[in-house]
Structure 1
């Protein structure tokens, strides 16, 4: 007899879609006790989203400062100021 185990999944109508393969042969009778799963913590969901959208490494603080300094040459800065005044 196999020990009790916990598997996670989602209900789709009368079917429970498991997140992983169960270690039992197809057709094995089982008992199912339904218990709503706690939602993933916000940090874990945000981290997963960041991993999906992040395609390149973030610059270091020094690199970010250098990029900002290069972007704000006087001509560009004056154009930005003029654009903000017009808004």
Structure 2
């Protein structure tokens, strides 16, 4: 096996320390201790999105992106027509 999984960087990423502790507890004590520890609250890192931000994103996705794609298509078509006429 590789001892790299016990490296400090690997243990600090995400919920890896909790996973390691739960794996050891499961092997030693069974599911009882794991079910208690799994109820630990975690801090949410994604903030709630306001209604104004939702509206701005919807407008961006449904209107601006297709308009940009259409403008690019028109630009390419004009460039091809110009190239054919030469």
**TM-score category (smaller protein):** under 0.3
- Give the strand-richer structure, 1 or 2: 1
Point out which structure has higher relative CO (alpha carbons under 8 A, 6+ apart): 1
Q: What TM-score does the superposition give when structure 1 sets the normalisation length? A: 0.26
TM-score by length of 2: 0.26
